[in-house]
Structure 1
Amino acid sequence: MGSIKPYETAKGRRYRVQYRKPDQKSTQKRGFKTKKAAELFLATVEVDMSQGRYMDPSLAKVTLADWLKTWLDSRGDLRATSRSRVESIIETHIKPELGDIKIGNLSRLRIQEWAGSLPGAPATVRKIVNVLSGALRFAVEDSRLPSNPAHRLRLPKVVKKVRRYLNHEQVAALARAVGEISDGYQHGYHLIVLTLAYCGLRWGELSGLRIMDLDLAQARLTVRQTVVADRGYQRIEPPKDYEQRTIPIPAFLCGLLAPRIAGRNPEEPVFYGIRTHTWLRNHVFRVGWFDRAAALIGIKGLTPHEMRHTAASLAVSAGANVKAVQRMLGHASAAITLDVYSDLFDEDLDKVAVSLDRVAMQTSIAELLPDTESFELETEPVPLPTLTSVPLPAAVLRSPWDDLPPVPDPQMSDAGIGI
């Protein structure tokens, strides 16, 4: 139990509340103008303590700048690249405006005003706010704040970009264009395009792919590591979310990769930099080959990461279900795959309706219908633009899922990520 005692000031009588915190240390709060106000405060404190909701006011007196450091130091789960991005956001956008404010004094209005003044695209603004919100959520979990004042702010809506999906002919044209630029064929860089388009690797996963990670006899590759760039340096790390995954390789691509890796050291990267003979950097490949090749085939601005979207599209068009696509891409769950590529599965919904209709019409359901013909949905897919001027090898027309045995479940995991 606490106590309430009056004391005199120049402005009249005031009341002081004294009580013990859960750690049994004594503390007090002064300045109550009436005894009733002091009693109400003490009653609230006692109820919060009994229900485990008590917040020590002194813990909220740390400045946001100091708390951000404490929070970041606790994030041992962050990769080096993610940590660098978070540090940059804190130093550039958060600390200059809010760093000197005590976290207990951060109001939702003040944070909303700050968020509204942030420069950049809506997606950039959300990333910045998410860093602050994450730090303040940790303060709530540490019983320093009763709630997160940065949670669910009114932020500009992010307009989703329209994804570009290449078809088989466009992939073949892009690979050929890369091969014809600066000895691209000699260095096997045309195979990078095909591997990205038919296996759905992230760039770091492709860069870190070693000879030993390919099992062409079983038409499989295993993602065991990824190359991350951090402040100009490259470093090997486990795959995203620390989950290895095995991906089927189309038969035609196995045939193209075989001479590329024959007789080489199993520890060597499959694709490497011409000068360094080590992990190939994304920007080196883009500037030297990919960007020019994309422009040559009329898809200016295409990025290697967009080939990952193409891999999803080609897999779905070949009949792969959402679970297979999720495993190929390394998403944490099929729900993420559906959310990211929902447009690719829209046609599947129409096919389900048509299939149900055909099956139902062969049963007694048909007897319930009036004497009229059953109508059918139009299910012809919208054709993708093709490059008719580019001769396409018959092998490229093979589906990446044709004649391949199923991926063994023990080598797979639902925990991967994102996009």
Structure 2
Amino acid sequence: MANKPGHRRFGNVRLRESGRWQARYPGPDGRLRPAPMTFATKRDAEQWLTLAEARMIRGDWIDPQRSAVPFGAYAERWIRERPSLRPRTVELYGWLFRKHLEPKLGTIKVGDLSTALIREWRSDLLAAGVSQSVAAKSYRLLRAILNTAVQEDGLIARNPCRVRGADHEHAAERPVLTVAQVFQLADAMRYQRLRVMILVAAFATLRWGEVTALRRCDVAPDGSWIRVNFAHTEVVGRGIVVGPPKSRAGVRTIAVPTAVRGEIVKHLMAYVDSRPDALLFTGPQHGRALRRAHFNNLTKWVETVRKLGVPGLHFHDLRHTGNHFAAQTGASTKDLMARMGHDDMRAALIYQRATSEADQRIADRMSTLVDGKEVRRDRPDDDDDGVAGVLVPAR
């Protein structure tokens, strides 16, 4: 026996042959749409209609057909079309998506993603042995994609990524070298042409991609400043890509501590071609940009830092060390942020307000730190074919 639809001011309900109740309602365009699920009781179906009407009144209603796109297809397009992503970031996002997002979430409709489902997905990652750091990166990528689905594309009414603490990383504290150890590490480089690279990375607080992209025209002839305009990024299948620094604030001019300037001038005279665009730091084959793996092999990095007494030291820890040195000078937060090239929602203001005089004060005080340490070095005068000198602890 057929059942007549219930009479309501907004929408209608009817009993299906299955014994469950269906709710239907008119969208803003007047087209009648069914609820995405059926209900056990008539009351449940009517309550759903009441909520649907309230969403329309608030302007929160989303066409269910729009949110029916599979998350995997939407995420792939998001990564491909996202503006201003660095090549290395695109590579990282693609890997995180394929490895940790797509397997469980790829076929689920964007509109069906819920906080409970995302909590379960994250829990499964951690149970499978994925580190908390990688899980946090994957969660932040998921949240960013769904933010776009809410704010720009109108696929869902709100972001379901609401798992407290899921975006936090608890990385181990990285080592900080002493001033003496920085010079000892520089002296331990098997090739003299890489010695000053260590000093510049530490005392100018540069990232790997920034220091390897430096050219002669980016350095003052007297070594008093270094200008960061570009950064190198290694991309699988493309090699080294030249692009902007990591952030907007990454484009900056850095005052070099007086105690290090003479070292830079000597390096310019001995190892850098006279062309303005000649790279500052290269391998034994002059003029070619350094790759990270090539640098590690040339310097026997793992063995060298172990002998120095800091096993596991990363090249980026030189920048971390330099940031600590700069902080010890008592400089203000905005001046430190500008020197380090950090960027966040306030970075533009910080960068604009930081003055060159303040940056010079940082460099001068860092020089005092260097001058206050007695570092004795014993190394041969030979060039790239020479073996590193003996490390002598500071007294």
Q: TM-score, normalization: structure 2?
A: 0.75
Matched residues in 1 for 2:110 and 2:89: separation? 24
8 Å CA contact retained: 2:225, 2:253: yes
- SS of structure 1 residue aligned to 2:305: helix
Matched residues in 1 for 2:56 and 2:185: separation? 66
Matched residues in 2 for 1:87 and 1:160: separation? 22
8 Å CA contact retained: 1:205, 1:226: yes
Question: 2:232 maps to which residue?
Answer: 227
Residue 162 of structure 1: how far off its partner (Å): 2.5
Please list every run of 5 or more consecutive structure 2 residues that lacks an aligned counterpart in the other structure.
1-7, 348-371, 379-395
Question: 2:359 maps to which residue?
Answer: none
Question: 2:74 maps to which residue?
Answer: 67
1:112-127 mapped onto 2 (5 Å cutoff)? 112-118=119-125, 119-127=129-137
8 Å CA contact retained: 1:13, 1:33: yes
Question: 1:135 maps to which residue?
Answer: 145
Question: 2:218 maps to which residue?
Answer: 213
- SS of structure 2 residue aligned to 1:17: strand
Are the structure 2 counterparts of residues 175 and 112 from structure 1 closer, same or farther at C-alpha, using a change threshold of 3 Å?
A: same
Correspondent of 2:155 among 132, 144, 152: 144
1:240-279 mapped onto 2 (5 Å cutoff)? 240-243=246-249, 244-262=251-269, 264-275=274-285, 277-279=287-289
Matched residues in 1 for 2:23 and 2:121: separation? 36
Structure 1 residues 140-149 or 122-131, which shifts more? Answer: 140-149
1:82-231 mapped onto 2 (5 Å cutoff)? 82-118=89-125, 119-141=129-151, 142-153=153-164, 155=166, 158-178=169-189, 181=190, 184-185=191-192, 188-217=193-222, 219-231=224-236
Are the structure 2 counterparts of residues 176 and 28 from structure 1 closer, same or farther at C-alpha, using a change threshold of 3 Å?
A: same
8 Å CA contact retained: 1:273, 1:281: no
Please list every run of 5 or more consecutive structure 1 residues that lacks an aligned counterpart in the other structure.
337-385, 394-419
8 Å CA contact retained: 2:115, 2:163: no
8 Å CA contact retained: 1:177, 1:296: no
Deviations 1:86-109 (A, max 9, x none): 111111122122212222223333
Correspondent of 1:55 among 58, 62, 65: 62
Matched residues in 2 for 1:130 and 1:76: separation? 17
| 2:247 alignment partner AA | D
- SS of structure 2 residue aligned to 1:28: strand
The yes-or-no answer on 1:303 pairing with 2:309 is: no
Are the structure 2 counterparts of residues 51 and 215 from structure 1 closer, same or farther at C-alpha, using a change threshold of 3 Å?
A: same
Question: 2:294 maps to which residue?
Answer: 284
Question: 1:315 maps to which residue?
Answer: 326
Matched residues in 1 for 2:247 and 2:163: separation? 26
| 2:31 alignment partner AA | S
- SS of structure 2 residue aligned to 1:215: coil
Q: TM-score, normalization: structure 1?
A: 0.71
- SS of structure 2 residue aligned to 1:236: strand
CA RMSD of aligned residues (A): 3.2
Deviations 1:386-415 (A, max 9, x none): 998x5169xxxxxxxxxxxxxxxxxxxxxx
